[in-house]
Amino acid sequence: MHFRTRAIHVGNDPCPETGAVVRPIHVASTFMQLEAGKWRDFDYSRSGNPTRSSFQETVANLEGGAGGLAFASGMAATHCVTSMLNAGDHILAGSDIYGGTYRLLHHITSRAGIETTLADSTHLDAFAEAIRPNTKLVWIESPGNPRMTITEIAACAEMAHKAGALLGVDSTFATPVLTRPVELGADIVMHSATKYIGGHSDLMGGVLVAASKELYDQLYFVANATGAIMGPFEAFLCARGLKTLELRVREQCRTALQLAEWLVDHPKVACVRYPGLATHPGHAIAARQMEGGFGAMMSFDVDGSFEDAKRVVESTKLFHLAVSLGAVESLIEQPASMSHASYDAADRAKHGITDGMIRLSVGLEAFEDLRDDLAQALAD
């Protein structure tokens, strides 16, 4: 079956008792057993909950993995992965990773005696050189944030496996509609479900999909032991979000490409970073590993100062001035003062985050309205 059919039908059988075509939200924390010591499918909602299970089954199927686990947030999902490691292990991560992941690896995971090195995952030779004998996890993001860098997942999987490490991919920007890392050799896929999976800026959630049953079991052990699981209401919203994910993402990609092409020609725009543009350094790889679209995230630099960019992000009327991404409403932000403000100036420079940079999350509004909104903001 096709992706969009599975998104609607897998894990979503009608309720066997009532025939309701939408399953009820199971809020029970505990489940009555028939005999002492003989367990039914569910016993306690941290360990397993029918609403969460249903969402996990759908998302694992869409990613082509052996099993899925849903968490309270994307960071809780990533933390579950790092919690599988032991003191003395090493993590190699791409330099364009999400700021919260950077903080987790450098300030929390490090406390357990696990060291992290960052290296440029877009240059595979340099990235491979940063592998150590004790590297147990390689962690990448593609497209990366906020420069929209593209990392070749299949090559990273080969590199990690040769070194005896697992490859984890934060695929939040790509969504399973555009990229399925497990098919490219990744061991673990992570999503901030807060973004495209939820898709409406109304929930926090995270997901892991494991490529094998063994890895799923190891992750499940950590998830159950540490308890940062997704609640049933969020699981219901995420399962609902998946049903329209393909339609939303395809349309958002289409509008994003139109906006990127329009911005390229704008006299006040110095450069546009969007993997769908032939001028983007990662375009050829993106065209291979992203199917039917290049995502709906982009960044561009205004030809001007920090203050000029600040004025633009504060002048849009449809694009809301906010961090986060992936929802039906378009968002605009200035990385230097918002999403990446915690980096010091030297770190921002090292990561290519310029003062004039503006990041867009393109939503589902009409292209013409979004274009006109950016035009008036840039004209001020």
Q: How far is CA 296 from CA 193, 209, 240, 256, in A?
A: 16, 22, 20, 5
Question: Among residues 46, 250, 268, 371, which one is catalytic?
Answer: 46
Give me the least distance between CB of 256 and ligand PLP, in Å please. 16
d(CA 320, CA 338): 13
Give me the least distance between CB of 378 and ligand PLP, in Å please. 25
Q: For residue 243, give the 3-state DSSP assignment.
A: helix
Q: Which residue, chain included where needed, has tokens 């990235």?
A: 127
73 interacts with ligand PLP by CB under 6 A: yes
Question: Among residues 195, 248, 273, 348, which one is catalytic?
Answer: 195
Question: Among residues 170, 187, 301, 355, which one is catalytic?
Answer: 170
Q: Are strands 331-333 and 357-361 parallel, antiparallel or unpaired?
A: antiparallel
φ, ψ at 137 (rounded to 5°): -140, 130
Q: For residue 140, give the 3-state DSSP assignment.
A: strand
**Contacting range for ligand PLP; rule: CB under 6 A; set: 53-61, 191-199, 214-222, 232-240:** 191-199
Query: Is 195 known to be catalytic?
Result: yes
98 interacts with ligand PLP by CB under 6 A: yes
**Contacting range for ligand PLP; rule: CB under 6 A; set: 40-48, 169-177, 276-284, 302-310:** 169-177
Query: Is 196 known to be catalytic?
Result: no
Q: Are the CB atoms for 136 and 157 separated by under 8 Å?
A: no
Q: Are the CB atoms for 179 and 156 separated by under 8 Å?
A: no
Closer to ligand PLP by CB, 56 or 73: give it: 73
* Binding-site member from 79, 136, 195, 348 for ligand PLP (CB under 6 A): 195
206 interacts with ligand PLP by CB under 6 A: yes
Query: Is 98 known to be catalytic?
Result: yes
Which residue number is nearest to ligand PLP in terms of Cβ? 74
141 interacts with ligand PLP by CB under 6 A: yes
Q: For residue 81, give the 3-state DSSP assignment.
A: helix
For the CA atoms of 358, 364, 367, 368, the dihedral, rounded to the nearest 10 degrees, stands at -110
Residues 101-140 that bind ligand PLP (CB under 6 A): 101
194 interacts with ligand PLP by CB under 6 A: yes
Give me the least distance between CB of 197 and ligand PLP, in Å please. 10
d(CA 276, CA 274): 5
Q: Are strands 357-361 and 297-302 parallel, antiparallel or unpaired?
A: antiparallel
Q: Which residues are catalytic?
A: 46, 98, 170, 195
Residues of this chain that interact with ligand PLP (CB under 6 A) are: 73-75, 98, 100-101, 141, 145, 170, 172-173, 192, 194-195, 204, 206
